[in-house]
């Protein structure tokens, strides 16, 4: 269905993006993905030259007010509103902590840190996926290098050998290519660790998703294949794990998202979501943080917001999907108690089937494919990037003019239509024919209680080059940054990775 052109907000943008630093290797090749460490102020970036580089975020300037061009990259392109600034500050060469080489025969496409709660103290574990169809597990034991020293508030992140590019001999002593996982028939597109760190999901151009289970620990650990999922009808581009459960979502060239769970004897698809009009390039889960505030309003609106919160708590984390069609969509699970109230389907294919609905579509601003999307587990904000070179930040907030009944128009679109903006009805195993039911027909209509808006964006963030990946990272605390006066608390950074070989770190100023 057609909708009115998306709007951001009638007020001036409350946020801005400032470029803090640009990391570029001496001989730049395409940079595919950057993975910030879940607890340490470091990030791992994989490149087309078969390397992974580990960068420190503690070398960033403490203030985003500098106008000095980056020492490690070309001057950036001009910014565009709302809330954009492309100033950059000098970065010490010691920002490069390690260069990992020698494990793969072709470009490294994806990289992921193992959750620190699942590894032994002093150990770092990194997984890499390559165009050579293999997955590598790398281990490093901290012996005076960049690791945790002291308590979590006083991390010492430094390289044992200083900065710069390092030779292979040094790298071999530092990072151990301990395990290689073979099984995929073509390039590995995405990898992800489960919240507990015992499971690793990988997906490939061969249309499959593999789930591997770690057996043992440390250097003695081995990996066994526990599932090979082949229901997708095209390349599987992305996988992501639920933040609290062993539940996996995947996106594919077949324009679909699928949710997978262990059904007892085997893993299976419990939801099949349609609606995108092109390849699904990225998926990301919501954190456990919920939207707060909003109680100082009229009684009727306050009750509807309370009901919205209650439904969200029962449903659990949502997930995002981004696509070739230029949209970012939000999917929400229907709570089990609601499912029990519905008539049992005579065509139900699995008892473990779940019902998910396409809740909303974020304001459409990208003009080309959206390659990656990230959902902050701290602020609840969303960031997207893609082939048009844009970086866009979104925020969910309460509607001030909350309509009390379904059918009230919002920006020219009926409140009931918002959740299904431009989408075919979502489909799951209860409804293989594709005759899904709209959100407002299934549940009490709360789609107009909250809304998404754009709070900041930058065009040409990597010049004329496409942006392959974007991720949220925590801002280092004051003692971890140059100058020692960085904001404490829940400050956030955005990391973008592009075809120009550059990794750019942005400060989101709220």
**Does residue 87 register a pLDDT over 60?**
no
**Does residue 289 register a pLDDT over 70?**
no
Q: Does domain 16-509 have CATH number 2.130.10.10?
A: yes
Residue corresponding to tokens 């960068």:
55
Query: To the nearest whole number, what is the mean pLDDT of the chain?
Result: 77
Count of other CB atoms within 10 angstroms of residue 131: 19
Question: What is the pLDDT at residue 480?
Answer: 46
> Any idea what the Cα angle at residue 324 is, between residues 318 and 329, rounded to 5°?
20
Question: Where along the chain do its domains lie?
Answer: 16-509
Helix (H, G, I), strand (E, B) or coil at 303: helix
> In the beta sheet, which residues pair with residue 212?
200, 225
**Does residue 272 register a pLDDT over 70?**
yes
Q: Residue 250 in contact with residue 236, Cβ under 8 Å?
A: yes
> pLDDT band for position 403 (50/70/90)?
low
Q: Residue 232 in contact with residue 244, Cβ under 8 Å?
A: no
Count of other CB atoms within 10 angstroms of residue 489: 7
Instruction: Tell how far CA 262 is from the center of its chain.
Output: 23
> What tokens does 265 get?
């004897």
Q: What percent of the chain has pLDDT above 70?
A: 67
Question: What is the pLDDT at residue 408?
Answer: 37
- pLDDT tens-digit profile of 133-161? 999 999 988 655 554 433 333 334 444 33
- pLDDT tens-digit profile of 408-431? 333 333 333 333 333 344 444 444
Q: What are the C-alpha distances in Å from 246 to residues 241, 302, 368?
A: 7, 34, 33
> What tokens does 259 get?
């949710």
Q: Residue 147 in contact with residue 153, Cβ under 8 Å?
A: no
Question: What is the pLDDT at residue 293?
Answer: 56
Return d(Cα 330, Cα 325) in angstroms, integer.
15
């Amino acid at each position: 269905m057609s909708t009115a052109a998306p709007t951001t907000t009638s007020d001036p943008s409350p946020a801005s993006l400032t470029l803090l630093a640009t990391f570029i290797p001496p001989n730049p090749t395409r940079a595919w993905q950057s993975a910030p460490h879940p607890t340490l102020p470091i990030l791992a970036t994989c490149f087309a030259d078969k390397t992974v580089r580990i960068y420190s975020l503690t070398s960033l300037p403490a203030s985003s007010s500098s106008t000095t061009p980056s020492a490690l990259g070309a001057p950036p392109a001009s910014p565009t509103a709302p809330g954009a600034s492309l100033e950059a500050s000098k970065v010490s060469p010691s920002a490069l902590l390690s260069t990992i080489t020698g494990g793969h025969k072709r470009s490294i496409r994806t990289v992921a840190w193992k959750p620190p709660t699942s590894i032994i103290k002093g150990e770092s574990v990194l997984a890499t996926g390559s165009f050579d169809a293999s997955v590598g597990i790398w281990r490093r034991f901290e012996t005076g290098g960049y690791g945790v020293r002291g308590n979590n508030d006083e991390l010492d992140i430094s390289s044992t050998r200083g900065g710069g590019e390092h030779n292979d001999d040094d790298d071999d002593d530092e990072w151990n290519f301990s395990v290689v996982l073979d099984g995929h028939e073509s390039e590995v597109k995405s990898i992800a660790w489960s919240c507990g760190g015992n499971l690793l999901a990988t997906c490939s151009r061969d249309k499959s998703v593999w789930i591997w289970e770690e057996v043992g620990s440390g250097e003695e650990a081995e990996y066994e294949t526990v599932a090979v999922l082949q229901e997708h009808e095209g390349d599987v581009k992305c996988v992501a794990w639920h933040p609290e459960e062993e539940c996996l979502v995947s996106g594919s060239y077949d324009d679909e998202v699928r949710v997978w769970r262990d059904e007892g004897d085997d893993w299976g698809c419990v939801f099949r979501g349609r609606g995108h009009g092109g390849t699904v390039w990225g998926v990301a889960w919501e954190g456990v943080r919920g939207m707060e505030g909003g109680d100082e309003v009229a009684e009727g609106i306050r009750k509807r917001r309370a009901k919205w919160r209650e439904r969200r708590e029962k449903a659990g984390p949502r997930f995002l999907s981004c696509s070739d069609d230029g949209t970012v969509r939000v999917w929400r699970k229907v709570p089990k108690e609601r499912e029990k109230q519905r008539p049992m389907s005579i065509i139900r294919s699995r008892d473990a089937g779940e019902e998910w609905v396409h809740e909303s579509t974020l304001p459409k601003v990208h003009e080309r494919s959206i390659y990656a999307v990230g959902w902050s587990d701290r602020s609840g904000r969303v960031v997207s990037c893609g082939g048009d070179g844009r970086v866009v930040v979104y925020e969910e907030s309460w509607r001030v003019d909350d309509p009390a009944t379904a059918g009230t128009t919002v920006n020219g679109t009926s409140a009931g239509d918002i959740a299904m903006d431009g989408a075919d009805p979502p489909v799951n195993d209860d409804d293989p024919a594709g005759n899904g039911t709209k959100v407002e027909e299934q549940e009490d209509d709360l789609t107009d209680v909250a809304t998404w808006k754009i709070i900041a964006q930058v065009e040409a963030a990597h010049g004329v080059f496409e942006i392959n990946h974007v991720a949220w990272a925590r801002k280092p605390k004051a003692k971890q940054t140059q100058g020692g006066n960085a904001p404490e608390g829940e400050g956030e950074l955005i990391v973008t990775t592009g075809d120009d070989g550059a990794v750019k770190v942005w400060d989101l100023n709220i």
